[in-house]
Amino acid sequence: MTITIKVEESNSDRISELSDPILHHIFSFLPFRQVVQTCVLSKRWEKTWQSSQVMEFDRTMFDRGSRYHYLYVNIELNRVLQRRAKELFSCLVRILQNRQCGDMISFKKLMIDMDLFNDPEFRTLLDQCICNAIGCNVKELKLKLNSFSSRLCNLPEVVLSSKSIEFLESKCCKLELSKSVIDLSSLRNLCLNRVYVDDHMIENLVVGCPLIEDLRLVSCEGFRSLELFGLSKLNGIKLIDNSDLRRVVIKTPNVSSLSIGGPTRPREIKLGFFRNLKKLILSCAFISDNWLHRQISKLPELEYLRLHKLYGLKSLKLSSPSLKMLLILECTDLVEINIGSPNLQFFDYQGDIISLSLNALSLTKINLHLCNHILDARWYAKYVEFLAKFYDFSEVLYLQSDMVENMIVTRELREILPSPLSTVKHLNLRLVTMSIHLIIAKLVDGLLWIAPHTKTVSIEYGNLDKTSFKFSFSYKKQVIYDGKTVNCCKSFPISCWQHCAEKVELEINHEYYRGGKNTKMYILKGAEFMEQIDAVCSIF
Amino acid sequence: MSTAATADASSSGDTTEGSVRLLTLQSEDGEVFEVKETIATQSVTIKGMVDDDCATSTIPVCNVTGRTLAMVIEWWNKHEIGAVSNEKELKEWESQFDTIDDKSDRDDVYDLLMAANYLNIPTLLDCCTSAVAEAIKGKSTDEMREFFDIKSDFDEKEEDALRKENQWAFEN
């Protein structure tokens, strides 16, 4: 890295004079396949490739362009892939072996994301590669091995006594211990997904990782009980869908994020007093009102609470002053919510219309997904009443709906009830149903009744290909129409939008799943803009 | 080239302008630049010097020419917080660095890369390394040798053996 003479347009090979760390940095932007290709450029480059600090690859690099799913029917192609993978692994085994003999014993990251070929030779190479990476003091080891047989392969035992590993992620394998003891004294991050670990093993694992900061066990099998004590560095815990897990005891003092969920869930959850817990996620569990309230009372710093598919929970009362985000999703037994958290900023609710008492003056964003089965006048009345609860709070409201009809309150009700949300400035609707072209004007009309004088209305639908309509309204100041106040504006404190809307800007966006975007802008003027909306939306 | 950078050799040392301290940087070929401390500390190396109180006299920036240093200062000015109002404008401005069309572009990027490395400026280093990577992307090894003037020191046998060993990476 000593360049002293600057030649105007040189023909000298300056790239090869860059230091290894810079060339490795350049490698980090390149597809792995091309990084490997550089090894034939010159001896300098061969050495640079062999000393790579990061080796990340997945099966897509062996088959350019072909799609994942049909590979399994194409035996010929599968054989080619298998040969290529074996070539790479034998090469890696040798390179990493040589690094151990030389002085290049530092290795930042090895990430393997591929299918496990049912070939003993391949498995041996894979094991050797992992062992040699450990020998090179690898810091980050990620093994995402997709196995389609029920026989999981064993993770080489040497991994569990590596003092260098800081980050270990493993998918689809089995952890078994014959004689060596678990000693992961540098491990900070452990993520196991679809891994078989028995009770004895999990106990050892917890003891063997004294510095662990983040622990994730997802869809694992084998262990029935998990006890976490001490572990003063442990900050994040995630336990999701561990099918044999029956009992969880967590008494680690410094956890700030905790997530426990199903579909299969533990029957017994014992939590300590978490003075630093900021984020709590509970899903797919059967819990009682008392249990939840008792837990929350032990969490003075709780900022984020997500309750998803909790059964047995009937009444929820929250007054935690630290709470900023609250998400209550599909808790079907819930009949009543009482929120008195003064600092709550975001509220997300999905479920039936239930009794709601809200005293949260800091709310700035609300997300509602109301489910309903029968659309009758009673439902609409309850719906309007429910929406009106948010009158004092947010200027931004997100609604989500399975059916277009939900959003269009019947004419009869509109005449007797006041608009529930005349303070909302931005109303956003996400629809689950597909084509709504023909009734878009009717929908806008319905939304404008819910939130008259809103500045924007946006409607979005579609899952893969997305379409959105975004309306921006400008209003006339006066509510005088044709020289006199019109009837529809007299009866309510808020004037009818139809007679004061002046200009409507409409932006229609199509976003395609396979990439690409299509945007059109329209400006609609005058009182008849509703008819214009339908005309524009139907040609789109 | 930029407003904060003046090639004024007469003043040096610890100068202040209002409450903002000015640092004096001297390029390898003797050009002197005065730069606000708040801007120059985007360089981790200079920040270290300032924190250790070693930035009181002229700071020599070895291995970096005046021409390159002026470009680096322009980069700092653009990346000062609040200098460019939106991210898009900044990205557009940056885009002049992120493509290498010919060999003269290539040499400018090398110069910046060396400067970014020496001064430890992560944003500039990222931009330059990714520019070189973009130039490598999609090129065959022969095209790479041609574009970057890399001379192979393998004999034919050695290269063939390497290609065979890594056959998968060269197959379509």
Nearest CA in chain B to A9: B104
The two beta strands, A257-261 and A153-154, are unpaired
Instruction: Decide if A6 and B111 are in contact by the 8 Å CB cutoff.
Output: yes
Task: Please give the CATH architecture assigned to the domain spanning B15-150.
Answer: 2-Layer Sandwich (3.30)
Shortest distance between the Cα of A127 and any Cα of chain B, in A, equals 20
Shortest distance between the Cα of A12 and any Cα of chain B, in A, equals 6
Task: Please give the share of chain A, as a percent, with pLDDT higher than 90.
Answer: 19
Please count the residues of chain B.
172
Query: Quick one: pLDDT band at residue A499, thresholds 50, 70, 90?
Result: low
Answer yes or no: is pLDDT of A168 > 90.
Answer: yes
Instruction: Decide if A12 and B130 are in contact by the 8 Å CB cutoff.
Output: no
- State whether residue B28 sits within 8 Å of chain A by CB: yes
A/B interface, count of CB pairs below 8 Å: 117
- State whether residue A181 sits within 8 Å of chain B by CB: no
* DSSP secondary structure letter of residue B52: T
Tell me which chain B residues have a C-beta less than 8 angstroms from the C-beta of A64.
172
* CB A391, CB A374: distance < 8 Å: no
Q: Which residue has the higher pLDDT, A89 or B104?
A: A89
User: Side-chain half-sphere of A78: how many Cα atoms within 13 Å?
Assistant: 13
Instruction: Decide if A42 and B150 are in contact by the 8 Å CB cutoff.
Output: yes
Spatial separation of the C-alpha atoms in residues A213 and A379, rounded to whole Å: 48
User: Side-chain half-sphere of A500: how many Cα atoms within 13 Å?
Assistant: 20
DSSP run (H or E) holding A447: helix A440-450
Token representation of residue A502: 């002046």
Most A-contacting residue of B132, B134, B142, B147 (CB-CB within 10 A), to test interface: B132
pLDDT at B15: 47
Instruction: Decide if A83 and B110 are in contact by the 8 Å CB cutoff.
Output: no
User: Who among B132, B166, B172 is closest to A26 (CB)?
Assistant: B132
Instruction: Please classify residue A467 by burial: count the beta carbons closer than 10 Å to its beta carbon, then call 0-12 exposed, 13-18 middle and 19+ buried.
Output: buried
Spatial separation of the C-alpha atoms in residues A339 and A36, rounded to whole Å: 58
pTM: 0.77
Answer yes or no: is pLDDT of A2 > 50.
Answer: no
Instruction: Decide if A43 and B163 are in contact by the 8 Å CB cutoff.
Output: no
Q: Which residue has the higher pLDDT, A344 or A150?
A: A344
Q: How does pLDDT run across A426-452, given as a tens digit for each residue?
A: 888 888 765 555 577 788 888 888 888
Spatial separation of the C-alpha atoms in residues B20 and A92, rounded to whole Å: 53
Answer yes or no: is pLDDT of A405 > 90.
Answer: no
- State whether residue B99 sits within 8 Å of chain A by CB: no
Token representation of residue A188: 């900070």
How far from B25 is each of A244, B12, B21, B31, CA to CA, in Å? 65, 9, 13, 8
Instruction: Please classify residue A41 by burial: count the beta carbons closer than 10 Å to its beta carbon, then call 0-12 exposed, 13-18 middle and 19+ buried.
Output: buried
- State whether residue B113 sits within 8 Å of chain A by CB: yes
Tell me which chain A residues have a C-beta less than 8 angstroms from the C-beta of B149.
10-14
> What's the rounded mean pLDDT across residues A221-236?
90
Answer yes or no: is pLDDT of A506 > 80.
Answer: yes
Domain ranges of chain B: 15-150
How many H-runs (helices) and E-runs (strands) does chain A carry? 12, 28
Q: How does pLDDT run across A256-291, given as a tens digit for each residue?
A: 999 998 776 677 888 888 888 999 999 888 888 998
* CB A453, CB A422: distance < 8 Å: yes
pLDDT at A150: 62
Token representation of residue A425: 């400035």
Spatial separation of the C-alpha atoms in residues A316 and A335, rounded to whole Å: 9
Tell me which chain B residues have a C-beta less than 8 angstroms from the C-beta of A42.
150-154
- State whether residue B151 sits within 8 Å of chain A by CB: yes
Q: How does pLDDT run across B46-78, given as a tens digit for each residue?
A: 888 888 887 778 888 888 888 888 888 888 888
Question: ipTM of this predicted complex?
Answer: 0.84
- What SS3 state is found at A102? coil
Task: Pick the range with the lowest mean pLDDT from A126-140, A189-203, B1-15.
Answer: B1-15
Query: Quick one: pLDDT band at residue A526, thresholds 50, 70, 90?
Result: low
